[in-house]
Amino acid sequence: MTVPGPRVAPKRGVSLRTRILAATVMVALITVLVTALAALQLVRSVDTSTARGALGAQAERLANAKPAVREAIVAGLSQLNNSDTAVSTVSPEGVVSGSAVVPRRVVVQLRQGHIVSTTVREGGTSYLLEARPASGGGGVVVVEDVGAVQAITPTVLGRLALALLIGLLVAVVAAFFIARVLARPLVNLAGVARRMAAGQRNVTLEPSRIAEVTDVESAIGALDQALLHSEGRQREFLLSISHELRTPLTAIRGYAEALGDGLVPSEQVAQVGRTLETEANRLTAFTNDLLALARLEADDFPLQPSVVEVGVVLAAAAEAWRAAATSGGVLVEVEASPDATALVVSTDAARLRQVVDGLVENALRVSPSGSRVTLSARRQGASVVVEVADGGPGLTVEDAAQAFDRGVLRERYRDARPVGTGLGLSIAARLVQRLGGSISAHSAAEGGAVFRITIPAG
């Protein structure tokens, strides 16, 4: 037998709080970077557009001025020797006067009466150029160094970067507190789950305002109550079994001590022996049923499926129980179905017979003298239905719903009618489940109980 090694605790992953914090910081960082790139392009575009607007307005005013005034202004601006902004005039004949760089194509466009707005490059320097045609022909050209236009951009971007950095720091701090707030309900739930795993029940849950967490809290609360109910039922069952085991053990111990002390007269030895045998059989029945339940709950429960004729199984079961039934005045019979020979399933024949035997034994226990136990089978769609009906007191709706729960009917009727160990119907239900079928309990219209097994047809 392989001995299982010690359970290795799963490696603890990154906490939800850390994930939320990291995700929030990452989103904030991406937002800052995208904003900075967009702001850089926007600032440059705004600076250029503003400069072009000012140059265009200046060129427009000069173009609309009288020729003498215009020439005087241009001459004065040229004498200022401003390296950033320069002005030139173009005569109707195409002669350029002034300090501004004027490409030939601009001269041609001005003489044709076109407004020019472009960027030119001269001597390794780029210039914004705005040209406006004059009313008498020719025009005015105003240029400005692009470097001078964008000189303000680094200052603006520096201030913008500082603002974005402050925003990022605020986002990190906010993310830290938000992560704590969002993770706290889940941390509380983990603590509750650990206390439940340690055996604590009726655990108090601190309500959360998060809808999804509230759903988990409700599920854990329902699980807590289900575990409480299930463990209570198990304790009751174990107490019941302990009581039933104690009774035959007490009788066996008492008679054994009496025999050992020579207190049993010789003429009563045989009777004492039969009593001991009866009590030992009761203990055997309990232990066999408990072992059967343990095997049914194991993953390696063996099955040997084959093609099984249901009618043959029912006939064999009826024949096996006929003697016991006759001694109690009960008739055991098999109701033949028109398609009895066609009722074939692929299942474990021995396990199916075990289920039928358990149901027949249960039926004989509650059936009074003069009644009958009927075994029948029929096809229903893609399944075969097997029924065991008795002539006993029947089942209430509550009985039928709890018939396969361990020991429930036994505890309910132990003082009112003959009962067994309280495990037989539970074993039958587990067996049928292992066979891939289903089982249900019903109260017959004419009285008595009907146990119905449904197995997929082969």
What string of DSSP letters covers 126-158? EEEEEEEE-TTSSEEEEEEEHHHHGGGHHHHHH
Query: Residue-wise pLDDT tens for the chain (458 aa)?
Result: 344 445 555 555 666 667 777 877 788 788 878 877 777 777 777 778 888 888 899 898 888 888 888 888 777 776 655 557 888 888 888 888 888 888 999 999 988 889 999 988 887 888 899 999 988 788 899 988 887 776 666 766 677 778 778 877 888 888 777 777 777 777 777 777 888 888 777 777 777 777 777 787 788 888 888 887 777 767 766 665 665 567 577 778 888 888 888 887 888 888 888 888 877 876 786 677 667 666 666 655 677 889 998 989 998 888 888 888 888 899 999 986 666 557 889 898 888 988 898 899 889 888 899 999 999 999 888 899 999 999 888 888 888 888 888 777 777 777 667 676 667 788 888 889 888 899 999 988 778 899 999 998 86
What was the pLDDT predicted at 439? 92
Q: Are 133 and 113 in contact (CB under 8 A)?
A: yes
| pLDDT tens column, 60-84 | 888 888 888 888 877 777 665 555 7
DSSP 458: -
Q: Which fold has domain 20-154?
A: Beta-Lactamase (3.30.450)
Superfamily of domain 306-456: Histidine kinase-like ATPase, C-terminal domain (3.30.565.10)
- Retrieve residue 239's tokens: 């107490």
What was the pLDDT predicted at 243? 55
What was the pLDDT predicted at 391? 87
- 3-state DSSP assignment of residue 353: helix
What was the pLDDT predicted at 226? 80
What is the distance between the alpha carbons of residues 57 and 51, in angstroms, rounded to a whole number? 10
SS3 content of the chain, % helix, strand, coil (to 5): 60, 15, 25
Neighbours of 427 (CB within 10 A): 22
For the chain, give every domain's residue range.
Answer: 20-154, 211-296, 306-456
What was the pLDDT predicted at 199? 79
Q: What is the CATH number of domain 211-296?
A: 1.10.287.130
What was the pLDDT predicted at 214? 78
What was the pLDDT predicted at 3? 46
- 3-state DSSP assignment of residue 332: strand
- 3-state DSSP assignment of residue 206: coil
Same topology between domain 211-296 and domain 306-456? no
